[in-house]
Structure 1
Amino acid sequence: MIFMEIMYIIVFLILIGYISRNFKILDEKDRMVLNKIVIYITMPSTIFLQLLTNVTPSDLPEFMKLPLIIFISTAVCALLAYLVGKCLKLDNKSLGGFVLVSSIGNTGFLGYPVILGFYGNEGLLRAIFCDMSAIFCSMLLGTYVGVKVSGAKKSILKEVFSFPPLFTGIVTLILVLLHVKLSTFPEFFIKSLGYMANATIPLIMLSLGLSLSPKAAKFGIFYGIIVSLFRMVISPLVAFPISESILSNQLDKQVAIMQSAMPSAMMPLVYAVIYDLDVKLVASACFVSTVLSLLILPIIYTII
């Protein structure tokens, strides 16, 4: 079936990254380099081209409902994870990490290739709107939790709006509202962005493969399974009735639900390191939920 072929491709690309690390072709510091290339160069290029090519001012009222769905599902998962973490008697550092991995989905680094594979460029366009909300939630919640736990003094809003993909998305949407067309820019500029955008998905998959470590899972398989339930059961269950009630386009509904069901993002691991949260719990949850997602996402795709 076509969705299984798509998952095979995704798994294969992830395995290339994983094998490259194990054979010392690439290592951990290379993952950070790849992430920077994606975050600062290729992903902004993808967002700019997709939005300016495919979105008109009249489209925005409907498309802007997508971020709302992701925001609500993220908020609900964060609240429930906090309550569950309290019941499990987690200390503040573990509780902070648990809340982040349970609520923040990997709508970019895994969502883009999965949605592109399942729904093509039309789906990818919608995935970008979902990811903008996820980025906002990630930066807002991650910085808030980190500041609360560590007592660090940072401007949360500055951290949020200076993140390149979100900043690019906002600027591009302003250009859309001003009726700026892609043809306004020089052809060499557009082609250059196109080359960079084409590198986004392969680099994301390589980076994800470099990030996965089975050793991390042994520190918290129990928490990884709970987090997976939040990300791939509770979150899409929250998103489903909302999407049914406020969205009219079937593709919009499908993408919103699929994006809400993505496994834990890698950004919580960054926050765990920066703010001294429970790194082992976060790393294990990221690994377990990502591996399980390769089995669960095709099932969700089939259902919806």
Structure 2
Amino acid sequence: MQNLILLFVCFFAGILLRRLNRLPKETPSVLNGFIIHISLPALTLLYFHDIDLSPGVFAMAAMPWLHFGLAAGFFLLAGKVLKLPRMTVGALILTGGLGNTSFVGLPMIEAYYGKEGLVHGIIVDQLGSFMVLSTLGILTAGIYSDGKLSAEAILRRVTAFPPFIALTAAVFLMPFDYPEWFTLLLGRLGDTLAPLALFSVGYQLSLGHLSGNTRNLALGLTFKLLIAPLILSLLYLGLFGMQGLPVRITLFEAAMPPMITAGIIAAEHHINPPLASLMVAVGIMASFFTLALWWFLLGVQ
């Protein structure tokens, strides 16, 4: 419960301080830079280090990859049919294809399924969402931020992305035990992600952004919160015939709102920041209702 309260407090604190004009305009850029260069790498080093890479985890880890692929296909097609601007399509792919499987996902899993479900959520988040973010996410951002980027330049952006570097380091460090001081350090640094990210999103939110974005926002959130989880549920439960708590957690994670960091990356690359911010902020608020629906539907399978 305290994690959910933290989400609300930081989000609305950002909105309030923007209205009071107490902080400089550069505040979101500074916070986003800290998150990408410090908070996310610390979390990756901390949690990925202890994951058991047994064969059974890969079906769970595959979900975010499938989700991102569905989003890319859906929004590219929608972009052609609806004649959406290129930057709008890019923002929808990033925010509609990456779920907040960590700082909304993990508290929600604990609330609905108990602590025994957290290990499955961490697998989906670390092996799935963060790896998609660090590879396909930053690749998509590179493509849409500047269509003239060469393959070499895009690859350089991917490999230079701090969370990707941390992920690579975490793989090589898996055989070694972290010193206690290092674990505590990573935990403290990683704890900054949730409050700073929610504050940044709240600070950037402006209801004025709804003007001209209502249709695109509805399209993006309908896909992210309803269509994608439905398709993935039919795939995992129907085609694959999977059962049990791990698959329920996996599909529950599929229904999470857009990833905060995806919105941050879209803003950092100037890919329709107003729409990306709305997708994250409105998506988080809407998900409190849609996640209850998915918990009920998944609970009666």
TM-score range, shorter chain: 0.7 to 0.9
Q: Deviations over 1:52-99 (max 9, x none)?
A: 2x323xx34333333321111211121122112211122444444444
1:231 aligns with: 224
Amino acid at match of 2:76: Y
Q: Please, which of 189, 200, 206 is the counterpart of residue 213 of structure 1? A: 206
Note if contact 2:15-2:203 (Cα within 8 Å) is conserved in structure 1.
yes
Q: Distance in 1 between matches of 2:111 and 2:22?
A: 27
Tell me the percent identity.
20
Amino acid at match of 2:60: L
The structural deviation recorded for 1:181 is 2.1
Q: Distance in 1 between matches of 2:241 and 2:170?
A: 23
Note if contact 1:216-1:287 (Cα within 8 Å) is conserved in structure 2.
no
Note if contact 1:51-1:172 (Cα within 8 Å) is conserved in structure 2.
yes
Aligned-pair RMSD on alpha carbons? 3.2
TM-score, normalised relative to structure 2? 0.79
1:23 aligns with: 20
2:80 aligns with: 86
The structural deviation recorded for 1:297 is 2.7
When residues 172 and 65 of structure 1 are mapped into structure 2, their CA distance, relative to the original with a 3 A threshold, is farther
Equivalence map 1:97-116=2 (5 Å) = 97-107=91-101, 110-111=104-105, 114-115=108-109
Unmatched segments (≥5 aa) in structure 1: none
1:141 aligns with: 140
SS in 2 for 1:55: coil
When residues 251 and 208 of structure 1 are mapped into structure 2, their CA distance, relative to the original with a 3 A threshold, is farther
When residues 204 and 62 of structure 1 are mapped into structure 2, their CA distance, relative to the original with a 3 A threshold, is farther
Amino acid at match of 2:222: L
Q: Distance in 2 between matches of 1:196 and 1:97?
A: 28
The structural deviation recorded for 1:250 is 4.1
Note if contact 1:94-1:277 (Cα within 8 Å) is conserved in structure 2.
yes
Q: Distance in 2 between matches of 1:113 and 1:33?
A: 26
Q: Distance in 2 between matches of 1:60 and 1:192?
A: 28
Q: Does 2:290 align with 1:296?
A: yes
Q: Distance in 1 between matches of 2:191 and 2:56?
A: 27
1:168 aligns with: 166
Amino acid at match of 1:140: L
When residues 286 and 205 of structure 1 are mapped into structure 2, their CA distance, relative to the original with a 3 A threshold, is closer
SS in 2 for 1:263: coil
Q: Distance in 2 between matches of 1:123 and 1:16?
A: 31
When residues 79 and 264 of structure 1 are mapped into structure 2, their CA distance, relative to the original with a 3 A threshold, is same
TM-score, normalised relative to structure 1? 0.79
Q: Distance in 2 between matches of 1:190 and 1:96?
A: 36
The structural deviation recorded for 1:229 is 1.0
Which is further off, 89-98 or 12-21?
89-98
Q: Distance in 2 between matches of 1:36 and 1:112?
A: 24
The structural deviation recorded for 1:241 is 3.8
When residues 253 and 199 of structure 1 are mapped into structure 2, their CA distance, relative to the original with a 3 A threshold, is same
Note if contact 2:4-2:104 (Cα within 8 Å) is conserved in structure 1.
no
Note if contact 1:49-1:194 (Cα within 8 Å) is conserved in structure 2.
yes
Unmatched segments (≥5 aa) in structure 2: none
Q: Distance in 1 between matches of 2:60 and 2:163?
A: 17
Q: Distance in 2 between matches of 1:85 and 1:34?
A: 31
Q: Distance in 2 between matches of 1:284 and 1:297?
A: 19
The structural deviation recorded for 1:280 is 4.8
Q: Deviations over 1:101-157 (max 9, x none)?
A: 43333445644554566555535522222322330221122223444xx32346222
Q: Distance in 2 between matches of 1:113 and 1:46?
A: 16
